[in-house]
Structure 1
Amino acid sequence: MSKPLFRLLTELSSRKWVSQLTGAFAKSRASRALIPRFAKTYGIRIEEAEKHIGDYASLNDFFTRRLKPGLRPILSEPNAVLSPVDALITGMGTIQQGMLLGVKGQDYTIDDLLNRSPRTINYKNGFYFVLYLSPTDYHRIHAPITGEILEKEHVPGKVYPVNDFGLRFMTRVLSRNERLITFIQHEAAEVAVVKVGALNVSSIQYVEPLPHHLEKGQELAYFEFGSTVVLLLEENTFNPRTDLSVGSKVRVGEELGVFIH
């Protein structure tokens, strides 16, 4: 299939109502029959799931599954910034004058990504991670730091794919797709957790009840089908791990770097 044709089909399927229909089916009891095939197709480690595969009420219920306790140890170092998700790093680096440069060949502005929030100024020369969750991955999102939720915003938008093709050939999908943005204040600095919706994602949901204070590793939200988290850190506050790079895999609770004292 040619890239222009694929792009056209993606544009047509990126309408929110298509994702809503897909989501409605995934939440239906009829979708239970697809769970074993879905797990096998994507190589999901069903032994890690909190419940037996036959105990999930729908495909969506299985997709948003919790894991067995203790499978994602949370690093206790107070100044560590942890990965909020199981994911592939598809972009990382210093934010340059408000720009995320060269994410799969495209540049993004912090202003667009954060929907022109007044807090944009805090990240103008900070650091970023783009964390992609494939259908294989665990899809709950955890707090990367201990701190208070300062502000949260839902930004309506498209549901373009955020896989390799989507990031390379669709125009700036990270700042055009639906987003759920959470600003969290650690004692050392502020962090923005930008949860980006994707093709066939019916929604991004906060856990309920959502606490005002989060402990590191605590559940924050979850995706209904695969997507991406963009993690933003303020300038002059963060040192990343030197052994991480684009293409590295990370897990919930794993250190991404540390706050600078």
Structure 2
Amino acid sequence: MAGSKWVARTLTELSSRKWLSKLAGSIAQSSASRLFIPRFIKLYSIAEQDAEKAASEYRTLNEFFTRRLKKGLRPVHGDENTLTSPVDALITAAGHVSRGILLNIKGQNYTINELLGGSPRAAQYDNGYYFVLYLSPTDYHRIHVPVSGKIMERDHLKGRVYPVNDFGLTHMKRVLSRNERLVTYMTHKHGEAAIVKVGAMNVSSIKYVLPLRDVMAKGDELAYFEFGSTVVLLLEESAFEPRANLAVPSKIRMGEALGEWHSRHEEPQSS
């Protein structure tokens, strides 16, 4: 068993080169790739009726993969004190950041500093809260902002393209901080949030939705993945409480509540 895991790790290491990912992306963007859409739908049991257009209207496999959904299928929780999921995903980890460390994500610890590439903003999240949200090929792959606010910075961190599935997170060395990442920093009425979009094997790119906007409302489209990947959502230290019935692991849809903020101070009682 140990030998087979070593072989799998070695093959994964060899296949994590960016040029291979770009090649896979080029194939998925070719007109010939549209022939694979029906097989792709069947293989991953995709609810094609949820797509904005009929499957036959998509010109490439990549275009189908980054499809929008019909309006109204992902209602966004409207309470201004609620943090919503930015994606359809499996919650693979969640918890409080402990002195700058994300503890025990599939048996490995990550530091905020390495995840954010040494950003001077990293210290703001040292005692905050985090969610790791994994998108499988089955999922809707557009990323939305989880809270209304203003984008302060967009950071591109170059890296590899290791798989971010269960095998990758468990058996490869700290893939979330070694893979290519786009980080969006937002300020909001309760503080600041970092939306870390992590690239993965066979992901040709992570792209922002154009035109870029600095002021965004909760639920607005931010970016999208070309093939499956992961979002790490970081919140700075505040009075955030995750939803009581939110299990790890569990599936969640974009727009559903992850938790809410409460006032840091009790309101004074009238005498």
Measure how far apart 1:189 and its partner are.
1.1
Q: What SS does the corresponding residue of 1:152 show, helix, strand or coil?
A: strand
Q: What SS does the corresponding residue of 2:121 show, helix, strand or coil?
A: helix
Aligned match of 1:134: 136
Aligned match of 1:76: 78
Measure how far apart 1:248 and its partner are.
1.2
Q: Confirm or deny: 8 A CA contact 2:116 2:122 kept in the other structure.
A: yes
- What is the distance in 2 between the residues matched to 1:204 and 1:214? 19
Residue 112 of structure 2 is aligned to residue 119 of structure 1: no
Match of 1:201 among 196, 200, 203: 203
- What is the distance in 1 between the residues matched to 2:92 and 2:255? 18
Letter in 1 for 2:122: T
Q: Deviations over 1:188-225 (max 9, x none)?
A: 11000000000000000000001110110000000000
Q: Confirm or deny: 8 A CA contact 2:206 2:226 kept in the other structure.
A: yes
Query: Aligned ranges for residues 19-58 of structure 1 at < 5 Å?
Result: 19-58=21-60
Q: Deviations over 1:76-124 (max 9, x none)?
A: 1011100000000001000000000000011000000011111111100
Q: What SS does the corresponding residue of 1:137 show, helix, strand or coil?
A: coil
- What is the distance in 2 between the residues matched to 1:70 and 1:14? 37
- Percent identity over the alignment? 61
- What is the distance in 1 between the residues matched to 2:11 and 2:110? 24
- What is the distance in 2 between the residues matched to 1:237 and 1:181? 23
Q: Confirm or deny: 8 A CA contact 1:189 1:237 kept in the other structure.
A: no
Structure 2, unmatched stretches of 5+, are: 264-271
Query: Highest Rg: 1 or 2?
Result: 2
Q: What SS does the corresponding residue of 1:216 show, helix, strand or coil?
A: coil
Q: Confirm or deny: 8 A CA contact 1:92 1:245 kept in the other structure.
A: no
Q: CA RMSD for the aligned pairs?
A: 0.8
Query: Aligned ranges for residues 238-249 of structure 1 at < 5 Å?
Result: 238-249=240-251
Count of aligned pairs: 261
Query: Aligned ranges for residues 1-261 of structure 1 at < 5 Å?
Result: 2-261=4-263
Q: What SS does the corresponding residue of 1:43 show, helix, strand or coil?
A: coil
- What is the distance in 1 between the residues matched to 2:115 and 2:262? 25
Provide TM-score, normalisation by structure 2.
0.95
- What is the distance in 2 between the residues matched to 1:169 and 1:204? 24
Q: Runs of 4+ in structure 1 displaced over 3 angstroms?
A: none
- What is the distance in 2 between the residues matched to 1:187 and 1:65? 31
- What is the distance in 2 between the residues matched to 1:43 and 1:2? 29
